[in-house]
Each structure stands twice: as structure tokens, then as C-alpha cells.
Amino acid sequence: MADDIKDKVKTDVPTVTFTMDGQEVTVAKGTTILEAARSIGIHIPTFCWHPKLKPVGSCRMCYVEIEKWPKLAVSCVTEATDGMIVHTESDKVKRGRRATLEFLLLNHPLDCPTCDQGGECELQNLTFEHGIDDSRFDFQKNRFTSDTDNTVFDDKRIGPEIILNRNRCILCYRCVRANKEAFGEYDLGVYERGNIAEINAAPGQQVNSPFSGNLPEICPVGALTSVDWRYKMRVWLAGKTPSICPYSSSGSNILIYTDDNKNLIRRVTSRCNDDIDDGWLSDITRYGYQIANSEERLQTPLIKKEGKQVEATWDEALEVICNRFKEITEKKGKVCIGGLISPSLDNASLYCSSKLFRTVFNNNNIDFRTDYRMLPNKPDSYFGMLCNRSFRITDIDDSDVIVVLGSDLIREHHNEYLRIRKAVNFNNARVFSLNPYSVKSADVAQAEIVYNIGTDEIILVAIGLAAIEMGLVEQGLAQGFKEKVKLGSLAEATEVCGVSSDDVKLVARALAGDGKVSVIVGELITRSHGREAVASALFNLSRLLGIDKKGQMAVLARYANSRGAEKLGLLPIPTGAQVEMLKAMWGKFPDAEPQTTDAMLALMHKEEISGGLVLGGNPIMLYPDRQFITEGLEKLDFLVACDLFESETTELADVVLPMSSWAEYEGSYVNLEGCNQVACQAIKHIGQSKPAFEIIRLIAEKIGTSLFESDEQMATEIEQLLSCEPDNATPDNFVDVLPLSEEVDPDFPIPLCICDDPHHTGALTQKAPSLTNFTGEAYIEMSPDLAARLEVSEGQPVRVESPVGKIVMPVKVSKHIDNDVVIIPRNFSQIRVTSLLMRKKRVDRVRITKVDE
Amino acid sequence: MFYSPVRTNAAEVAQSNRLHLFRYVEDPEQVKVEKFEEHGGYVAWKKVLAEMEPSQVIEEVKNSGLRGRGGAGFPTGLKWSFVPKDSPKPRYLCCNADESEPGTCKDRVLMERDPHAIIEGMAIASYAIGCHQMFIYIRGEFAHCADCMEKAMKEAYEHGHLGKNIHGSGFDLDMIVHTGGGAYICGEETSLLNSIEGERGMSRIRPPFPAIEGLYSCPTIVNNVESLASVPHIINHGAGWYKSLGTEKSCGSKIFSLSGHVKQPGNYEVELGFSLKKLIYDKDYGGGILGDKKLKGVIPGGSSTPFLTPDMIDIKLDYESLVEGGSMLGSGAVIVFHEDTCIVWVIKRLIRFYRHESCGKCTPCREGTAWLEELINRIEAGRGKPGDVEKVEEICGNILGHTVCPLGDAAVMPILSTLKLWRDEWQYHIDHGKCMVKTDFEFK
Amino acid sequence: MKEVIKAVGHVFIKMPQGLLVTLKHLFKKPVTLDYPRKKKPMMPRYRGRHYLERYDDGSERCVCCGLCAAACPADAIYMEPEEGEHGERRAKVYEINLLRCIFCGFCEEACPEEAIFLGQEYEFAADKRNSFLWTKEDMLVPHPRKDNPFKKIIRRVRKVYGVTEQ
């Protein structure tokens, strides 16, 4: 339905026809001459114009001549009108452009040899193109010297990863505009005016937003350069490989620049894909590649001998694995082996692991959701239905109402975060943010609703009740909704959530309207074990207000290939269709009891599972009950861990296998929309590392069964599985909402949320030096009010205690938080955050005390 | 009460039944609302509220032939009628009191000595366009004017001329006095709007024009102080009366700020079409050239307009005649130079101003004015190199018409005009390293 | 008989004539040089070994911009930049493979900092392949070059921040 509306809009747009360089052009009304020129392949040079920003027409480079116009027109802001006759390459135009270039070069230093932008500098290219080889300017150039340190090149570090050289700046204002329009950040600004105007960081501040890496990329000259790329190599010497971001679930399209002599990745830039990343990369995507270059990478297989891990060859390692697995299966049966697979791996690796467990070990002990708590062991849950709904990133752009539930988008889904800003800026979308604590991403929201933690499903019920109370829904539907809800009135529901009913009514009114809707359910819900209740409440709300007919609602997949893992049946309980398909392909499907991560760990405790395979990821660091998983893995007779680095998990392993990073082999990844994208091989394997799928196939071969007859077979099987489209099913009727409430232990009053830091994701990014420059250690984020009550200030250490653990960490005071929820990032292994958590709790609560020094 | 010590022709205006703006400016009590009302103030406002429809007001102003006094001379009534009638958005009125054009000081006198006239004009304009929130944007350096306006605004509120349900008509109107940060560019209407919004004072791309999408993306009308101050008189005396003033196409009276080498610099309200010669030489106005020297040149409409030479002294001061004479009426700042003025030095002062005030948005203006300043400084100091004059001319040509707002044009137009009129003087600087004019006063 | 007389005549007349030429050359100044004891003076524009130049204050002129490597038709130059202690760009590794180098002088022409130039020396013989790989240290040596008249002609004003008046 949504598509129909879109097509209608597209065809109804009036067009204009005009002539450009003798060519007849027909474009939609409102198109600028520049856009029209680009669409037919005529290149008009620009500096200030950027496809993703609103035009300002300040650089005066994009002149065109329009017949009967007295002056040259600036094509980036001039709309094409019927019958215009445009010349883009006339002498007058060339003179105008030449004059602009001359002006720009007046104060531009001639330090191209030392400038990192050299070779990809738009000013350099245009100067060359227009043949300006001498300057008529015979005065001293303006010079801004660095005021922080006395460097010879006037470079100034304005952020952890950004270097500013104001001399080179041509004041196109792209950076400031992108910061403001696209990212909603105000840490970079213009100071002074006229020819001494300068771009600079706000006084006393650093440019350290999670999107700061985009600023050097959009700078047309070398005024903003990144520390990461500084003096590394000349851009024309770098090899370029198209790839996919291995961290973001939307699969940002990236271009990897490699130094082929040294087999290193040098940097990552955007490979603008309008449907997915819109040309902006988060810093995680941009700097996360550094893990592939890390010196700490595992180079050879390790085998535990007499309690110590010693280096070994692949043959030895595989031999040990094969023998021990055989031993265990002979002794205890094949159900005794379990696998925890990282959802950041490519399709082939995920599929091979699934096939290894289901055909060779003949069991269903496999799961990729290692950071969820209390996963149900039964099929067809409402949450599963919600996960299996389609979602399109571009549909956010033209949504009228966007509801974000339980997600701080800037911490988990950077691309979607920017999309929402774009929808607000360009489409006047109304955003509603429903979270247990106030989030940064809510600054564009029309209403931000902060509800009591742990009442996620009740806030959805409250929205439904508000709609009923305002008479926005049919009586019959209202009756059905109310029957399934344990709460009688809106007042009661808002009381439980601790929100004002006016705000809830605002959301209800917006959702009940005719506009296109996007509902995004985030990590705070999916990882908690209230997910089932939320899913059922959301389905009820959707039935009540017709959300699924008006747009999309989805749980966003969290990791690079989470969606792929679901589609390839890596879950312990694949959907019925998947089972049928797998049965047809393999000729068999194990009927063993399916075991989720939790169940597997419980069985490890009971020593019913005694062999384990951990493929990528670092479950010990991420699983929300550190003691439980550590003890479980310790009790295993034999554990194989494959990873890029030594980690908490590999320490426990009997055999450690070095795995290749995503850049070292060609792999495909399915993003959260279900779009399958290929990441090409950029560098050669580091050390003796091997891709995950190859490791699995080698293990299978060693055990005696070859998983595939040929590579083609693997490819076709994967393709077949991926061709399954999400069924978008909804329950047939209103379903029961079973709210989960918990007793609050008065000793541990403060609710705790475990999130990713905006500059980190998962366990790997802490190995990327650029990202640790932004945030290098764990902190506990709290409201200024709570900090005042605890009598602590920014940076002071506090003791955080839960019934099961105790850690000490510094405080970070965040002004935007206004309730007592505290947030700890989980990305740093020095501080064992997950040791505070208890898997059976819906909301973790802690006690915080000041550490006396 | 502090007055700016500017000479005005208030005495003459008071006797005339045609001139009106300066009638009471020499009365120190005029700033008080009681005195203003006694002098017939706020009568037009009450009349508009009681008797007239907004469209009638617009029609009246249209018929009067009132044209914008800020520089461009766009018909005021026509501008008001551009505000979309059916827009659901609020509308705004901004009074442009960012008077920074070198040589112009007319608005300042009005703000200091007759603030209620401006408020009344703004109120009528607001009523005409259906706006309930009006702004007056006062130049940052005019702190005293802002004080005067604030006081007057307070009094107007107290006497029920502003606020809710004004004079029982059901019309609400609020006013905000907004001071700028001291930038010439904010006198340009889109920059002014940016500045009120709290953004950098940089001009916006047009279209959309402010009348369609201005302040906070809502329809906005920006008018000069003098234009708005004329509006109550039009309402009081009728469009026909106003149209009978001045010439056929340039109706009404206008304040000219006379400065430079004249014996009696000051603000003089005269009807449009007044003779330039009379303005400079008449004993009631300029009183002749300082030291009874010969006239060298006149800038007729503020520093952004081209020069006039002595042979054009008989020109009439109205929009059309000045355009015919190769210049513009601009803001009505007549700057007079006598024979001992070094024209390169004049340009040096002007370009210094424009270089300092360029906002930095468009490349040609930002970089070009700075380059011009360096070059002209060099020429003026006698260190010019052969070809420098041609270079100046070419740079001016590259700036002219290549910027978003008119500042770039304003900076180079006087230069181009002097290059045309007194090129030999420029060349003399290059050739001889000194000025051909013997000056009897120190140039600083 | 006639032939015999002719042959005898050759022996006694022509042969001494020929030998006379040789004899004459015995007393002439030799064209060859007593290399390696004596060396031939090279022409000023001869392109021999590479030198890297320093500024007067001792810092390296080379900023490792990569233009020489880009200009090199034989692909003989390899370099890796690094950040110096004052934030300046400089070469961490700068190598010229003299076995590949064809001494065309393009690197010298391409250099925007006038850091590299080709000197007069031409003796590179070595007994190991590795010793033909000249590093930065080999080239950053004091050089005997005086002001080369040709250098002055091609030298342009390359001040980064423009020239000051007077």
C-alpha cells in the first residue's frame, strides 16, 4: 500500500522542459539546474553544494549562463523553468568560474605537497582544469596559526580524530551545514566574518560526535583532515575495494583503501548508497576497520597443553578438535555439543555452522543471540513474528509519524538515526521517542516520553487506551483491545508508567491519523525478557490503530548479519518454512530438542553439554550474566573458540583458532531490510588466519563428512534460503498481554541499562585505536541530579554494586538524562560490566556509592 | 534627554503642510506618548482599527505611491500585497532599523525623537498584512535608539496602542525590540531575518522571498523605518494627498542626510524631485561647500551608489532622475566632496568599510574586497605598480553581479564609477607615486 | 716481377708510413683517462647519483609528497611518510632502487620542495644487490654542489604563504 502512494506521488509531479547545452531536458518541477545537469551527465563544478545538504549558493563556482538573464546564474539554487536555454560551458561561464577560482586561491596556501587531500582535492582538480598556473595576488596571504601548539603547518586538532587547517579552508560551510542539518550537532561553527571568517570548534569543546568522521570526507579541500589518514599514503597509490560495514546492521556501503605492499587497510570512506546509508558513515564504520590491522591479532592456532595455550599448526589443531569431539559424542551422544555463533559473520560462515551442527552433530544446539537474556525455548512466539516483519530504511524518509520504542538510536542504529533526522528536516515528520530514560536522539522528537523502566508493554497499552478514550477507534475493536488488557483505564496505565496522559494522547492521535507510520523497536526491548509482552502489546496496538496497514513496524536487527542469521535458520528453532527447505536440501533435519543460548548454558552447568564451539564474538563479555556463562563454559570438557583476538572466551578454550576479519575474504551480509550485499576481499589473510566458513568446513571434513560437494553448492543453498521473504504475519486476533512486574529490592534501587557507547559496538571495537580515542574506558552515565545526590562529579569513581557483583568506575554526568536510570557501556573488557547482571531479572538494579579516596 | 546633535529642517517642515516626517522632531517632549497623541498621533491607528479593512489599508498605501526608503525603492503597498492571504502560518513584520550605510543617519533621528511615529506605522502595517507579532531590528551600535524605542513601546502598551484587543477592536499585536550585533549586512532583509532567528547574519537565497517564506519560514514583510513612519500620514491625509507630493513616479517626501564638505551637514526632509544644487548650496540646507571651494563630486544615495560629477548638479533628487544620471537614490545619504579631495583616498575608506562588513558567504565578495583593499591601499600610498588600476577594474568586474546579496555590488559600484570619472587621478597615483590633488587637510 | 717490386715497396714505404701515425700518437696527449686514478670532469647538467637536500637549519626538505615516485617512469622510488615531532610531514622511508633508475631526472623536476636532485657522481658498483637500494640516510649527505646556474633558472617562488612586499 505504501508503495502505491509513493508511485502516485512520483507520477503526479509536474515537469518542466528546458534546453541545456543543446540537449532537451525534462525534469520534475522544482529541480535545480545543477541537479538536472547531473542527471544527464553534464558536470558542473561545485564546492559548497553537496547532494545531501540544502543548497546555499555561496561558493559561486557552479555558474551557468541562461539566455536573456542579465547575470550568470548560480545553478545550485536556480530552479529550472520551462523554455530556459542554459549554457554550461560558454566563455562567459568559464570566465566566471575562473574568477571564482582565482578568488579562492588568493589565500589558499601552496602546501599541496604536505596536504593529505592532495590527489582527491576538488580545488586542486579544478585549478588544474582551468589552467590557473600563476597568481596575480602579490600580497602576504592570510595565515591562521595554530593557537594550541606551535606546529609549523598551523594544524590544529579540534577533535579526537579531526585536524583543522584554517588556511586551506575555502569557507564552503559544508561541514557546518552537515553538522547542523544531518547530524544535529553544534560542535563546529563559523567565527568572525569576511575574509577572516574561520571554521572552528566551539570554544573549549571537541568535535567528537559519532559522525565526526564525515566532516573530513565532505571537506572539498584539506581544511579538515582525519587523524586516521594523516600522512599515511598518497591516495592514488591506495587500492580501493568496495565492501560492507561489518558493524552496522543496515550494512553501510564502504570503500576500503588498502596499502597492498604492506597488506594493511589505510582508511574507509563512504560508497554512497541512497537506499541504505545516504552517504553518511558513523565513526564506528569509519574507524572500526582498524581491528583488521591490529598487532594483537591471533596469528596461529593455539592448543591448551598442561593449562597453557601454546602455538600449533592447523593440522594439529584440527586433529585435536576432531578427536575430542568424536570422544565426546561417543561418550555422551551428539547432543552434547553446542555452538554460539557471532551474528557479525558472513552468510557462508553462518550457514556452514548451521549445517555442521544440524547434519554432522545432528542437534539443534545453535544460537547467535548471545547477548539476549531468557530466550524462550518455544516456537512461534509473538516476538518471533515481530522479528519476521519487513522493514525498509528508505520508508523512514517519507514516514509522517515515527515512533521509536526502547532504543537510543545513536547507540545502536546510526543510519536510522540520521534517517529520522532527515525525515524531520525534509518531510516534517513527527517523531515520538518512548524510552525509559531521556536519549540524545530525542532532540528532534515532537514528544519524548520517559516511562518507568520495565513498563514497556504498558506504555503501548496506554497509547491504545488513549486512542479509545479519545474516540479515535471503532467500538468493536476497542472492546477487543480492552478485553485483553489487564488495565481498565488510561489513568491507571499512565500511573504505572509514570507519564503524563497528554503526551500519550499526542502519540495516540498521531498513530491513529492517516499518515505513514514507522514503528521501531530497539535493543532495550529485544535484549530484555519483556520482549514477548511488548510484542503482543504492539500487535494489539497495531490491530487497534491499523499500524501494519499504514506503514511498517519492526524490531531492527542489531548486528551486521543478524537478519541473515535469522534467514539462514541459525536459530535453534527455525520457522516452519525454513525447516521444510532445509529438509529438502539436506534430506534430513535433526529432531533433537532445540536449545537457545540460555538453555545451552544451563545444560553446560548440568554437564549435559560438554563440547562447545564459539565462532567469533565474545559471549563472556556480552552475555547478560557473566558468572553464569563463565561457569558454564568452564565446565565444558572441550571448547573451541575462533576469534580475531585473544579474549575472555578464548582464555577458557582448549583450542583457539585464528579467524580472518571481514576484509580478508569475500562474504555476503544481509542487512536489516533483508538486502544481501557483498563485501569484497580487500587484504590478504593476516598470519595463518582463515575465514570462519573455511574453519567450519575443515572441521567437518576432518570429522569425516564434507559439508558441500563444491563451493557452488554452498552458494546455491544459501541463495535458496535467502530468497525466503518475511511473511509479515500478525496474530489473527487481539492477544493476551502478560505484563511482567518485579519486586524492587530496596537495597538496590537504581535501575541499570547496559548499552553500547555511541562510538563502540559489541566487543571488538575496543581494539580500534581511533575509537578508543573518543571513548577509551567504561563509565557510568547518570543524571546531574543523581550525581549531586551521590555527591560525585564528572570523572570521579563510584562503586556500583548489584546482588551478584561489584565494580568501580568513573562517573559521566549527562545533562539530557533526567531520571534515576544509570547507563554503562558494555564495550570495554577492563571493567566487567556484565558481572553486575542477572539473567533472570527483567530490570537490573544496582546500588551506587561514592568511593572515598 | 540625549539627542544626537544633528541639524534638521524641522522649523521649515512645521510650517509646510506638505512635509510631515520632521514636523515635531525638535520638540523634546515628542518622545512621550501624551505629547505624541496631542500632536495627532495614533489617530491613524485608531482610524484603521475602527474603520478600515486590511485590504483597504493596502489599497490606500498602494495608491499613495509610497516606495521603500531603504534603498531599493520597491513600492511598499505592492510588497504588502505579496503576503499570501490563505497561508495558515503566522505572519511577521520586521522594521528594518539597521541603518548602517555610511552617510545615512535619518532613521536614527526618527527613532530618537519620534519613536511613536514608527510604532504607529508598524502597527498599521501589521494590521494590513494580518500580523500579530512585529519586530524592530535596531543596529547594534544604536543602543540609545533601542532604549528610546523600548521606552516608547512600553508607553504604547500602557496606553493600549499595543497588546491584546487593541482599542476594543479584537486585534492583538505584540512588539519586540531586537538589537543587532553590529553588522552592516544585517540591513539586508534576509540577513536581518537570519539574525533575528539567532543564526549568523548571512543573506539567504531568494526565491523564496521573505513575503512568502521569511522569518521562521513564515510570510514576513521587512520595511524601512522611514517608509513605515510615512504610513500614518498617508492614512490621516489620504493617498491622494501623498501622491500629490513629489514627482509623478516618486511620490512623497524623503529625508536626505547631507554630509561631507558642506557648511551645514544635517538631515533635511524635502519632497522628492528636489534639486540637488539647492540641497547643497541653499542657506536653509547645506549652505554651500566648505571653504567655498569648487565641487568635485557627490554621492547621492549612500556610499553604495555611483558618484555624480559637478556638471550634473542640477539633477532632481528622485528615483527616476538619478537612475537616468547613472546613479541611485539609495537611502538618501548625500555625501559631498570638494575639489581638494583625493578620490582614491575616498575609495580607500569605502573599501575598508566593505571589506570589514563582508559577511564571508560568497567567495567573490569575501576574497575580492580584501584583495581590493590591499591593492587600493597600495595605490593610495603611492606604491602602486603599473597595471594595478586595470587589476582593480577587473576584480570589480568579477565581483559585480556575482554575489547573493547586494553588498558585493555596493562595494564595487563607487569604485567603478570613480574609475570612469577620475581615471586620470588613479593613474597619477601609479605614475607619480603621489596624489594629484593638493589637500589642505590631513587624511587619516 | 712488377708485383714483387710493389710488395717490397709496400714493406719499405707504406709500412713505415703507417707506423709513423702510431709514432705520432705516442707523443700526443692521450684521450683516455687513467681511470680510476683520474676522473673525468662531468658536464654541469650531467645526471648522476641522487642527493636529498636539507634546509639551512638542518631539517629535511623532503616532505614525502610522492610526486617523484609518481613521476618516475621506472618505478624506482618507494617512500613512506610519517608525522614529525612538530606535526610536519616527512619521509620515514625513502628508497631509490638504483638498478631500476634510468637517471632521467624527472624526480628532480617533479619535486615541489626542491629536495631531490641528481649530482655528478656515477660510481655505483657494488657486489651486493641490496647495496643498490639507497635509503634516505645514503642520500641525505652533504653534497659538493655549488650554486648551479641552471637551478636558478627553474627555481620558482614557492613560498607557501606568499611573498611579502619589498
DSSP β-bridge partners for residue A265 = A258
CB contact under 8 A, A114 and C70: no
All partners of chain B with 3 or more CB pairs under 8 angstroms: A
Q: Does A733 touch chain C (CB under 8 A)?
A: no
Residue A237 lies in a domain: yes
Residue A193 belongs to a domain with what CATH number? 3.30.70.20
Which pLDDT score is estimated for B370?
A: 94
Check C66 against A140: CB less than 8 A apart: no
Query: C touches which chains (3+ CB pairs under 8 A)?
Result: A
Contact between B79 and B221 (Cβ < 8 Å): yes
Helix (H) or strand (E) segment spanning residue B91: none
Report CA A32 to chain centroid distance, whole Å. 33
Contact across the interface for C65 and A143, Cβ inside 8 Å: no
User: Does A111 contact chain C (CB < 8 Å)?
Assistant: yes
Residues A155 and A272 reside in one and the same domain = yes
Does A134 touch chain C if contact means CB atoms closer than 8 Å? no
- Is there a domain that residue A271 lies in? yes
| Any domain includes A812 | yes
Cβ within 8 Å, pair A140-C163:
yes
Q: Does the distance separating the beta carbons of A140 and C160 come in below 8 Å?
A: no
Q: Which of C66, C158, C162 sits opposite A234 (nearest CB)?
A: C66
**pLDDT per residue as tens digits for the range C28-44:** 888 888 888 888 888 87
Shared domain check, A434 and A344: no
Question: Which three cell numbers, joined as nine digits, stand for A13?
Answer: 509531479
| Cβ within 8 Å, pair C87-A149 | yes
Examine the fold and report which residue of A520, A555, A590 is the final residue of a domain before the chain moves on: A555
Residues of A in contact with C165 (CB under 8 A): 138-140
Q: How confident is the model at residue B430 (pLDDT cuts 50, 70, 90)?
A: very high
Which residue, among A808, A805, A811, has the nearest Cα to A790 in the 3D structure?
A811
Higher pLDDT, C98 or C88: C98
pLDDT at B276: 93
Report how far apart, in Å, the C-alpha atoms of B235 and of each of A798, B34, C100 are: 72, 20, 92
Longest dimension (CA), chain A: 92
- Confidence check: pLDDT of A757 > 90: yes
Band (pLDDT 50/70/90 cuts) for residue C155 is very low
Q: With an 8 Å Cβ cutoff, is B358 touching chain A?
A: yes
Interface check B352 vs A, CB under 8 A: no
The pLDDT of residue B193 is 95
Query: Which pLDDT band holds residue A10 (cuts at 50, 70, 90)?
Result: low
Enumerate the domain spans of chain C. Answer: 1-31, 50-139
Tell me the CA distances in angstroms from A503 to A196, A510, A516, one per residue in order.
47, 11, 20
- List CB contacts (< 8 A) between A117 and chain C: none
Side chain identity at C157, as an amino acid letter? V
Q: Is the pLDDT of residue A729 over 90?
A: no
Note the pLDDT of residue B444.
45
* B-chain residues near A173 (CB < 8 A): 361
Element (H, E) at A613: strand A611-615
Closest to C67 in 3D by CA, of C110, C115, C117, C114: C110
For A529, the grid coordinates are 525478557
What does the buried/exposed string (b/e) look like for C141-161 if buried means 16 or more CB atoms within 10 Å of the residue's CB? Answer: eebeeeeeeeeeeeeeeeebe
Query: pLDDT tens across A778-793, in order?
Result: 999 999 999 999 999 9
Give the list of residues 6+ apart from residue B187 with CB closer than 8 angstroms, or none: B70, B96, B98, B99, B100, B101, B139
DSSP A44: -
Distance from CA of C103 to the nearest CA of A (A): 23
Q: Lowest mean pLDDT of A9-18, A189-198, A755-764, C73-82, name the range.
A: A9-18
- What phi and psi, each to the nearest 5 degrees, are found at residue C129? -60, -35
Q: What is the pLDDT of residues B256-274, one digit of tens each?
A: 999 999 999 999 999 999 9
C-alpha cell at A676: 544481501
pLDDT given for residue C85 in this prediction: 82
- Please give the residue of chain A at the shortest CA–CA distance from C82: A231
Domain C50-139 bears CATH identifier 3.40.120.10 = no
Other beta carbons within 10 angstroms of residue A592's beta carbon come to 17
Q: Within a domain: residue A473?
A: yes
Residue C151 has pLDDT above 70, yes or no: no
Interface of A with C in 156-185 (CB under 8 A): 167
Q: What is residue A9's predicted lDDT score, i.e. its pLDDT?
A: 46
Q: Write the burial class of residue A530 (CB in 10 Å: 0-12 exposed, 13-18 middle, 19+ buried).
A: buried
A735: pLDDT strictly greater than 80: yes
Mean pLDDT, range A837-841, rounded to an integer: 89
Assess if residue A449 is contained within a domain.
yes
Contact A118 C65 (CB under 8 A): yes
* C-alpha torsion B333→B336→B342→B344, nearest 10: 20
d(CA A752, CA A754): 7
Of B355, B363, B404, Cβ closest to residue A104: B363
Which of B221, B213, B271, B197 is closest to B121 using CA atoms? B221
pLDDT band at A144 (very low <50, low <70, confident <90, very high): confident
Q: Which amino acid is at A475?
A: Q
Q: Is any Cβ of chain C less than 8 angstroms from the Cβ of A113?
A: yes
| Reduced DSSP (H G I as helix, E B as strand, rest coil) percent helix, strand, coil of chain A, to 5 | 35, 20, 45
- Assess whether pLDDT exceeds 60 at residue B164: yes
Class of residue A584 by CB neighbours under 10 A (exposed 0-12, middle 13-18, buried 19+)? exposed
Best A47, A58, A176, A198 residue to mutate vs chain B (most B CBs within 10 Å): A58
Q: Evaluate if residue A611 carries a pLDDT over 50.
A: yes
- Using pLDDT thresholds of 50, 70 and 90, give the confidence band for residue B4: low
The rounded radius of gyration (Å) of the Cα atoms in chain B is 22
What DSSP state is assigned to residue A745? P
Q: CATH number of the domain at A821, please.
A: 2.40.40.20
Do A48 and A13 lie in one domain? The reply is yes
Task: Report the 10 Å Cβ neighbour count for C40.
Answer: 9
**Cβ distance A468 to A511 under 8 Å?**
no
Q: Which residues contact A214 (CB under 8 A, 6 or more apart)?
A: A178, A182, A183, A270, A280, A281, A286
A117 in a domain, yes or no? no
Domain containing A565 equals 313-380+561-659+687-722
Q: What is the pLDDT of residue B3?
A: 61
Residue A710 sits in the same domain as residue A630: yes
Round to whole Å and give the CA distance between B436 and B343.
10
Strands A401-405 and A517-521: parallel
* Residues in a beta bridge with A23: A20
Residue A272 in this model has a pLDDT that exceeds 80: yes
- pLDDT-based confidence at A137, cuts 50/70/90? confident
| Dihedrals phi, psi of A760, to nearest 5 degrees | -140, 160
CATH of residue A494: 3.40.228.10
Average pLDDT, chain C: 83
Write the pLDDT tens digit of every residue in A176-232.
Answer: 999 999 999 989 999 998 888 999 998 888 999 999 999 999 999 999 999 999 999
pLDDT at C160: 60
- Cβ distance of A112 and C88 shorter than 8 Å: no
Q: What is the pLDDT of residues A283-329, one digit of tens each?
A: 999 999 999 999 999 999 999 998 899 999 999 999 999 999 999 98
In the prediction, which pLDDT does A742 show?
A: 81
Partners of residue A112 in chain C, C-beta under 8 Å? 65, 112
Average pLDDT over residues A563-570: 91
Chain C residues 63-92 with a CB less than 8 Å from chain A: 63-67, 69-70, 80-83, 86-89
C156 touches A: beta carbon within 8 Å = no
Regarding whether A400 and A376 lie in a shared domain, the answer is no
Q: What is the mean pLDDT of residues B399-421?
A: 92
pLDDT digits (tens, 9 = 90+) for A664-689: 999 999 999 989 999 999 999 999 99
Q: Write down which chains contact chain A via at least 3 CB pairs under 8 A.
A: B, C
First to last CA, chain B: 33
- Nearest chain A residue to C66 by CA distance is A234
* Most A CBs within 10 Å, among C60, C79, C89, C93, to test the A interface: C89
Tell me how close the Cα of A766 comes to any Cα of chain C, in angstroms: 24
Contact A103 B401 (CB under 8 A): no
> Whose grid coordinates read 488513549?
A466
Distance CA B144, CA B141 (A): 8
3-class secondary structure for A361-420? CCCCCEECCCCCCCCCCCCCCHHHHHHCCCCCCHHHHCCCEEEEECCCHHHHCHHHHHHH
User: Which domain CATH number covers A31?
Assistant: 3.10.20.740
CA atoms in the 13 A half-sphere facing the CB of B253 = 22
Q: A430 near A510, Cβ under 8 Å?
A: yes
Partner-chain contact A231 C64, CB within 8 Å: yes
User: Do A181 and A266 lie in a common domain?
Assistant: yes
Query: Per-residue pLDDT averaged across A414-431, rounded?
Result: 92
Residue B354, SS3?
helix
Supply the pLDDT for residue A150. 54
Q: Nearest CA of chain A to the CA of B404: how many Å?
A: 7
Report which secondary-structure segment, H or E, holds B419.
Answer: helix B407-421
- Do A567 and A713 have their domain in common? yes
The SS3 of residue A589 is: coil
Q: Is C123 on the interface with A (CB under 8 A)?
A: no
**Residue A715 lies inside a defined structural domain of this protein:** yes
User: What total of structural domains would you count in chain A?
Assistant: 5
Question: In whole angstroms, what is the distance from residue A757 CA to residue A775 CA?
Answer: 8
Amino acid at A31: T
Distance CA C137, CA C154 (A): 27
Q: How many CB atoms lie within 10 A of CB B63?
A: 16
- Please determine, for residue A88, whether its predicted confidence score (pLDDT) is greater than 90: yes
Q: What is the pLDDT of residue B439?
A: 65
Q: How confident is the model at residue B125 (pLDDT cuts 50, 70, 90)?
A: very high
pLDDT of A469 higher than 70: yes
User: For position A576, what pLDDT does the model report?
Assistant: 85
The three grid cell numbers given for residue B134, joined into one nine-digit string: 512585529
φ, ψ (nearest 5 deg) of residue A555: -90, 125
Phi, psi of B363 (to 5 degrees): -55, -50
**A with C: how many residue pairs have Cβ under 8 Å apart?**
63
Residue B362 touches partner A, C-beta closer than 8 Å: yes
- Cβ distance C163 to A231 less than 8 Å, yes or no, reads no
pLDDT for residue A4 is more than 50: no
Same domain, A358 and A507: no
In this structure, the answer to whether residues A276 and A163 fall within a common structural domain is yes
Residues of chain A found within 8 Å of residue B205, distances taken between Cβ atoms: 55-57, 77
At position A815, the amino acid (one-letter code) is K
Optimal mutation site among B358, B367, B379, interface A, most CBs of chain A within 10 A? B367
Query: A346-350, A373-377, C143-147 — which is least confidently predicted?
Result: C143-147
Cα gap A348→A165, rounded to integer Å: 45
CB contact under 8 A, C159 and A150: no
Peptide bond into A797 cis (omega under 30): no
Provide the 10 A C-beta neighbour count for residue A261. 11
Residue B1 has pLDDT above 50, yes or no: no
What's chain A's average pLDDT? 90
* Residue-level pLDDT at A149: 55
pLDDT at A112 over 80: yes
| List of chain A residues whose C-beta atoms are within 8 Å of the C-beta of residue B200 | 190
Question: Does A234 contact C at CB distance below 8 Å?
Answer: yes
pLDDT band at C146 (very low <50, low <70, confident <90, very high): low
Q: How many CA atoms lie within 13 A of A396 on its CB side?
A: 29
Give the per-residue pLDDT at A483: 86
Pairwise CB contact (< 8 Å): B363 & A71: no
Task: Choose among B396, B437, B409: nearest CA to B302.
Answer: B409
By the CB < 8 Å criterion, does A498 face chain C?
Answer: no
Question: pLDDT for B28-81, tens place per residue?
Answer: 888 999 999 999 899 999 999 999 999 999 999 999 999 998 888 899 999 999
**Joined grid coordinates for residue A91:** 566563455
Contact A99 B364 (CB under 8 A): yes
Using DSSP, how many helices (H) and how many strands (E) does chain C show? 6, 5
Using 50, 70 and 90 to split pLDDT, how confident is the model at A151?
Answer: low
Contact B359 A103 (CB under 8 A): no
State whether A110 and C83 contact (CB < 8 Å). Answer: no
Give domain status of residue A667, yes or no: no
Claim to verify: residue A415 and residue A429 sit in the same structural domain: yes
pLDDT of residue A320: 94
What are the CB-based long-range contacts (under 8 Å, 24+) for A706-713? A707/A352, A707/A355, A707/A356, A707/A359, A707/A360
What pLDDT does C162 receive? 56
**Region class of A495: left (phi > 0), else alpha (psi between -120 and 50), else beta:** alpha
pLDDT on residue A333:
77
Phi, psi of B183 (to 5 degrees): -130, 130
Among A508, A540, A555, which residue terminates a domain?
A555
Q: Cis peptide leading into C36, omega within 30 of 0? A: yes
In this complex, the residue of A72, A77, A171 whose CB is nearest that of residue B360 is A171
A411 and A368, same domain (yes or no)? no
Kindly determine whether residue A114 and residue C82, on different chains, have CB atoms separated by under 8 Å: no
The sign of the CA dihedral A709, A711, A714, A720 is negative
- What is the average pLDDT score of chain B? 91
Residues in chain A within 8 Å Cβ distance of B367: 103-104, 106-107, 195
Indicate whether A416 and A435 sit together in one domain: yes
Q: Which of A113, A118, A152 has its CB closest to that of C86?
A: A152
Alpha helices in A85-173 (DSSP H): 91-106, 122-129
